[in-house]
Structures are given as C-alpha cells and as structure tokens.
C-alpha cells in the first residue's frame, strides 16, 4: 500500500467490532472463473419482486438466470450435458456437438463448444426469433432452421439433429429433451442454490417446461431436502399438453391453443420429466394475455427486462402464492432476458397482430415503442 494512504487502513480492532455489528450474512466472496467460461455458469442471484410481493402479501423470488454467461438457464444444461458426454467417451477433442433446440440450449452449447474446442451444429424450428439464429452463427455454430413438425414426424428438428450426428465421426447428439444430464444440472446446482439463498425457507416452486429439466431437477432437490414440504407446480402455456396430462392423471394430452412464448410447452412427457411427475403437486395454465401484461409490469414496476417464459413463470408464481399462507416464499425462474425477443414483444404492430396490445393497461402501452 502507498505510504501516503496507509492511514486509510483500518485497524484489527475496527474489523472485529465491525463484524460483530453485522448480521449473520456471509461476507462477500469474490467469484473468479479460473477455468474460463464454464466456471461462470450458475450461482445466479435470487431477486425478490418487491412490488408484486407487497401486493400479494407473499414473497415472490425469481432466479435471475439471464445472468449466466450465455444469457439463459440453459447454460446449466449445456454444460452438464457436454460434461456427461465427455465422461462417457462419446466425444473427443475436435468433435462435433449436434442438438435440436428452440434456441437457448443451442446458445449455451455453442458457448461451451467454443470454450472446449468442439464444432457445434444446431437444428431449430424456423419460427424462432431471427436474433437467436444470428447469435448462434456469431458463436460459430452451423444452424439449420427447419419447418415445424410434431415429434412423431421424422422431419421433426430433433430427429434431424440425431441423424446428422449419426452421419459424422466423433460426434454426439446431446438429446436435451431425454438426456437426464439436463435434469441433473438442476438437482446439483439450481436447486441447492435456491435452498441456500433462502436459508431453507422455501414454500413453493413453479416454472414452465421445455425439456422438463429445470422443473424436474429443482423439484426433486427441494422435495427431498424439505421432506416433501415444498409445493411444486408445473406452469404451462397454451398449446402444451402437460397441464392436461397432470390434471387428468395422464389420461389426456390436450394440444389446443398456441403461445407467443418460445422454447416452452411440450407435446409429450420427456425422460427428464418422467421420474418426477409423481412429486409435482399441481399444474397451472397461463394465458398469453396474462404473460404479456406481467412482462410489461416487471419492466415498469421492478425494472426487470425479461422474455415471455420468465413472465409466464412469474404469473404462475403469483397464482401459487395465493394458495399458500401469507408470508410464504415462492420461487420461480427468469429463464432469459428480453433481448432476443425485443423486436417482437415491444413492437406495437406485432402485439396487435397477436391481439395482445389492447390487453396492456394504458400506462404500460408506452413501452411498445418499436414499429
């Protein structure tokens, strides 16, 4: 230390007395990703949504997954899936990772592939935001946007990805929907983080499902560590079958409806979700109208700029909170930011085409500033 500044150094007595007056919170721990990109994945903040919590008289906490280095919750699955493939000898140095994805898992995989020296090939529905495709290409991925087909069609993007991987040497199809390394990422990281961040005071958890890995993994961890006390609820957009499947105990798969949200909803029960269906307490279907209003409310009231999935999850968390006693803590997932979707969800013209503009309260319509 510069001698001229030495007088600024606190004495040992200062530290001991200062520490004695603090709460029991852990001291700041600087995080350094010594092993590069992958070490920065996880350990995201848990944000209390103050205004919403005050209105509900229950506490809504949201995991800020856009703060992963690749920008979404799917960074976790991408890392664990690739590590699993490496451990099993399914890919060696210089190999190729192939996946079918609506975007965020592909982005996470592309980042991890760049950091580990793998090639990356992505098949995705051609209905996804163009910004996702552009970002994948910027990350060096080979991208194939293909027409939307149901899972039982051989031209479904997942099946095309599998065939592509099988045509190459030293390549792996990471199969995020049915590869349970995805689910394990959340048993081993997301769930424990949530429990530690609230010091075990978790009463409810809800989120939507794409692959089912986040909901299943976090639910499994929270149920086991709480001896089943944490209430878990699946949140579903219109057009997904899981709400009807859970509500009818597996008797119905109602596909009716569609949603502006991307990357969530499902036409089947994936292998990531199957092991934990029996411990999911309930399901809730969230209309697009409620999701878009919450998206704008979170920007206006909480200063949080997120995509449609996170907004739907917060609506669901509010509904779950209403079923619990006052003062309860309900946690959900903010899957990613709004950056990849802004040209749509903040476009007045696009919102009008989707019949979503007029559902926005007048004080929120000011945010729809794009043509």
pLDDT digits (tens, 9 = 90+) for 185-205: 999 999 999 999 999 999 999
Q: For helices 104-116 and 130-138, give the axis angle rounded to 10 degrees.
A: 0
Let me know: does 293 contact 359? Beta carbons within 8 Å: yes
Q: Which residues contact 342 (CB under 8 A, 6 or more apart)?
A: 370
Q: Which residues contact 154 (CB under 8 A, 6 or more apart)?
A: none
* pLDDT score, position 151: 87
Percent of the chain with pLDDT over 90: 87
Domains of the chain: 42-68+190-367 (3.40.50.1100), 93-169 (3.40.50.1100)
- 314-353 residue pLDDT tens: 999 999 999 999 999 999 999 999 999 999 999 999 999 9
What is the pTM (predicted TM-score) of this model? 0.90
* pLDDT score, position 235: 98
Q: Which residues contact 184 (CB under 8 A, 6 or more apart)?
A: 80, 84, 217
Phi, psi for residue 137 in degrees, rounded to 5? -65, -40
* pLDDT score, position 4: 41
pLDDT band of residue 24 (cuts 50, 70, 90) is low
Of residues 74, 132, 223, 231, which has the active-site annotation? 74
In angstroms, the CA 220 to CA 226 distance is 10
* pLDDT score, position 21: 45
* pLDDT score, position 130: 86
Nearest residue to 157 via CA among 85, 233, 103:
103
What is the residue-averaged pLDDT of the chain?
92
Percent of the chain with pLDDT over 70: 92
Q: Is there a catalytic annotation at residue 74?
A: yes
Secondary structure element (H or E) that encloses residue 118, with its range: none
Mean per-residue pLDDT, 136-147: 96
Q: Which residues of 177-186 are buried (b: 16+ CB within 10 A; e: fewer)?
A: bebbbbbbbb
Strand partners, 171: 96
Q: Edge to edge, what strands does the sheet with 282-285 contain?
A: 46-48, 59-64, 329-334, 204-208, 231-236, 282-285
Let me know: does 283 contact 247? Beta carbons within 8 Å: yes
């Amino acid at each position: 230390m510069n001698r001229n500044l030495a007088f600024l150094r606190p004495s040992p007595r200062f530290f001991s007395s200062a520490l004695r007056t603090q709460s029991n919170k852990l001291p700041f721990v600087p995080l350094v990703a010594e092993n590069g990109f992958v070490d920065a994945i996880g350990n995201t903040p848990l944000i209390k949504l103050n205004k919403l919590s005050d209105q509900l008289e229950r506490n809504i906490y949201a995991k800020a997954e856009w703060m992963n280095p690749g920008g979404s919750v799917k960074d976790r699955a991408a890392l664990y899936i690739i590590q699993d493939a490496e451990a099993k000898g399914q890919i060696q140095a210089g190999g190729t990772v192939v996946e079918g994805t609506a975007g965020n898992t592909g982005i996470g995989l592309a980042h991890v592939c760049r950091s580990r020296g793998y090639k990356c090939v992505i098949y995705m529905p051609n209905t996804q935001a163009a910004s996702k495709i552009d970002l994948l290409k910027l990350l060096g991925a080979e991208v194939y946007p293909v027409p939307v087909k149901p899972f039982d069609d051989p031209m479904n993007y997942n099946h095309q990805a599998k065939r592509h991987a099988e045509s190459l040497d030293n390549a792996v199809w990471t199969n995020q929907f049915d590869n349970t390394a995805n689910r394990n990422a959340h048993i081993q990281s997301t769930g424990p983080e949530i429990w530690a961040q609230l010091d075990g005071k978790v009463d409810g958890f809800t989120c939507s499902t794409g692959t089912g890995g986040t909901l299943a993994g976090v639910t499994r961890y929270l149920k086991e560590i709480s001896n089943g006390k944490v209430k878990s609820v699946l949140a579903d957009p219109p057009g997904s079958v899981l709400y009807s499947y859970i509500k009818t105990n597996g008797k119905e798969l109602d596909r009716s409806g569609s949603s502006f949200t991307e990357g969530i909803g499902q036409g089947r029960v994936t292998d990531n979700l199957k092991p934990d269906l029996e411990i999911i307490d309930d399901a809730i279907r969230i209309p697009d109208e409620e999701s878009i209003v919450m998206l704008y409310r979170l920007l206006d009231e909480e200063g949080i700029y997120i995509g449609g999935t996170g907004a739907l999850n917060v609506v669901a968390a509010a509904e779950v909170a209403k079923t619990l006693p006052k003062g309860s803590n309900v946690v959900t997932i903010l899957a990613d930011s709004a950056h990849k979707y802004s040209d749509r969800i903040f476009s007045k013209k696009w919102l009008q085409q989707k019949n979503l503009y007029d559902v926005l309260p007048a004080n929120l319509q000011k945010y729809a500033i794009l043509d």
